[in-house]
Amino acid sequence: MHFTTFLNFASLATLATAAAAVPSAFEFGQETSPASLETRTNKGFSCPNTMSYCPWTKSCSCQPGMQWDDRKGCCVGNKMTGAWPKPSLDAYVSIGIELGTFCAASPTKIVPYDAKHKYCQASLENVAFCAPKTVEKDLVKIGVGIDIDLSANIGVDLKNTCAGLSGLYLGSVVDAVALFNTNKFGFGLSVSAGFGGLKLGLFKSIKNLSCLIGLTNCNYDCVSHCTKGCGNYIDVVGKVGGLINGLVGFCVLPDVVLYINAAGKIVSLAIEGMLCVVGKLLTVLLKTFKCNC
């Protein structure tokens, strides 16, 4: 009994030491009480210092080329200028489909890749990606740069591409907060299983020691600092605040979105699954793309 007690206190001391080592910059908005997180949400949400909302990552983000520095409490690095690099098709050569490269400013604003086009400029609003090359013909038919009418008679590949982009995209930070920072829709992150925070990579961002040892729940702000364990997290190359840099270059296919994960492997996301998430709020998408959620 005494030995067990000693181990428990030793574990607590170890955690306390680790928590004390976390710099004060980690106080940047993570809330560890459901009430306080709800209050912050209801009062009006704002991204952390030097960050802005990125609809493609469904979270706050540093500008392209930059990432979050938790010690300084701001974004660091060199902001990218000009166009996003043209996506490489080499990584997806094994899928056996002829691909083209494109840019988008929203799921319905798509153009073939052109480094001079405004949709291709590196920003939090634009992405460059791959999709079946036949999409180029579909875009020419409706007029390049024209906002795509999803209810119109458009090509199958183009509509599939719009579906994939719609699953990735959430235009409103208010909607992102509702989906991923509250429990209204079931995607808010609450870690209650002891050392779960360590396993999810959230330890450094959670300041309440009691939640980490299972005495209380850990409620995490997934919109401000999206990381592993969050419902809006995609495991691309890049650190917190810089995920847009790793996401750009993804590939949209009829049923899945492919991307290169942090380990350098091709990973797939089911488009219908992503649509079922954003469709909790944007129900029109479920009807438009005939989802079975």
Using DSSP, state whether 273 is helix, strand or coil.
helix
Q: Residue 288: pLDDT above 50?
A: yes
All residues at 6 or more sequence positions from 8 whose CB lies less than 8 Å from its CB, including other chains: none
Helix ranges restricted to H, 93-155 = 135-142
Give the position of tokens 């405004």. Answer: 118
Q: Specify whether the CB–CB gap between 162 and 131 falls below 8 A.
A: no
Local confidence band at 37 (pLDDT 50, 70, 90 cut-offs): very low
In this predicted structure, what is the pLDDT of residue 228? 81
Going by C-alpha positions, the residue among 57, 146, 70, 133 that lies closest to residue 98 is: 133
| 201 CB burial (10 A radius; 0-12, 13-18, 19+) | middle
Domain of 134 in residue numbering reads as 1-293
Query: Between residues 188 and 11, which one has the greater pLDDT?
Result: 188
Angle at 57 between CA 86 and CA 259, to 5 degrees: 50
**157-184 average pLDDT score:** 91
Local confidence band at 8 (pLDDT 50, 70, 90 cut-offs): very low
Write out pLDDT tens, residues 252-286.
Answer: 999 999 999 988 899 999 999 999 999 998 999 99
Per mean pLDDT, which range of 51-55, 130-134, 200-204 is the poorest?
200-204
- Fill in the DSSP letter of residue 100: E
| 153 CB burial (10 A radius; 0-12, 13-18, 19+) | exposed
- CA separation (Å) from 193 to 7, 36, 53, 70, 284? 18, 21, 30, 25, 36
- The pTM of this model reads 0.79
Local confidence band at 217 (pLDDT 50, 70, 90 cut-offs): low
Query: Between residues 215 and 82, which one has the greater pLDDT?
Result: 82
In this predicted structure, what is the pLDDT of residue 136? 96
In this predicted structure, what is the pLDDT of residue 229? 78
Going by C-alpha positions, the residue among 50, 53, 104, 43 that lies closest to residue 74 is: 50
Q: Residue 91: pLDDT above 70?
A: yes
Report the domain count for the chain.
Answer: 1
Write out pLDDT tens, residues 19-32.
Answer: 222 222 222 233 33
Going by C-alpha positions, the residue among 143, 131, 104 that lies closest to residue 120 is: 104
Q: Specify whether the CB–CB gap between 65 and 80 falls below 8 A.
A: yes
Give the position of tokens 């790793």. Answer: 246
Q: Residue 246: pLDDT above 80?
A: yes
Per mean pLDDT, which range of 120-129, 158-167, 258-267 is the poorest?
258-267
